[in-house]
Amino acid sequence: MKLIILDRDGVINLDSDAYIKSPEEWIPIAESLQAIAKLSRAGYRVFVATNQSGIARGLFDIETLNAIHRKMTDAVQEVGGSIDAVLFCPHGPDDACRCRKPNSGLYEEIARRTQQSLQGVPIVGDSLRDIEAAISVKADPILVRTGNGGMAEKQIKQQHPQVTVHEDLFSFTETLLRQD
């Protein structure tokens, strides 16, 4: 089974320093939905793993987060793709949980659900914490320059020179599918 894991904010949709707090604020990055559709058609199971500390901060509730994720999955379906599951960490940075990236709990849960190792599985993110979580499970960390990726690229390449960098999810998808 082919598997890919994506971060949400900054990879699939535009990010915001004020958080994505409603379905109206969720706006896809150009061609990200088409990239997910291409991955789906190529036989990839697509999982999303995202930190959502806005819940712990009281900025939105689980029902609102579910509505945001429904908007995202519906938008992906409209262009012919699918997302197998969206896993999220609702905790804040000081909550000492296992699921908040850079910890690996979300990824370990995906491995458990799919009953497969994440070694070599592409994990696409836009931040150092995404990359570090991917490395901790021996996945293939991919940095995109969208979201915070452009600002984080220099630091990530210094600390983790093995990380592959792409302009966005669509350009990575094109490269990945040419290699398949």
pTM of the model: 0.97
Q: Going from the N-terminus, what domains does the chain have, and what CATH number goes with each?
A: 2-179 (3.40.50.1000)
pLDDT at 180 over 90: no
Measured CA to CA, the distance from residue 8 to residue 28 in angstroms comes to 10
Mean residue pLDDT across the chain: 97
- 9-26 pLDDT tens trace: 999 999 999 999 999 999
Q: What long-range pairs does 116-123 form, CB within 8 A, spacing at least 24?
A: 116/1, 116/3, 118/3, 118/5, 121/3, 121/4, 121/5, 122/4, 122/5, 122/172, 122/176, 123/4, 123/5, 123/6, 123/49
pLDDT for 103 equals 97
- Residues with a catalytic annotation lie at 7, 9
CA 109 to CA 56: how far, in whole Å? 21
pLDDT for residue 1 is more than 90: no
Is residue 125 helix, strand or coil? strand
pLDDT tens digit sequence for 41-74: 999 999 999 999 999 999 999 999 999 999 999 9
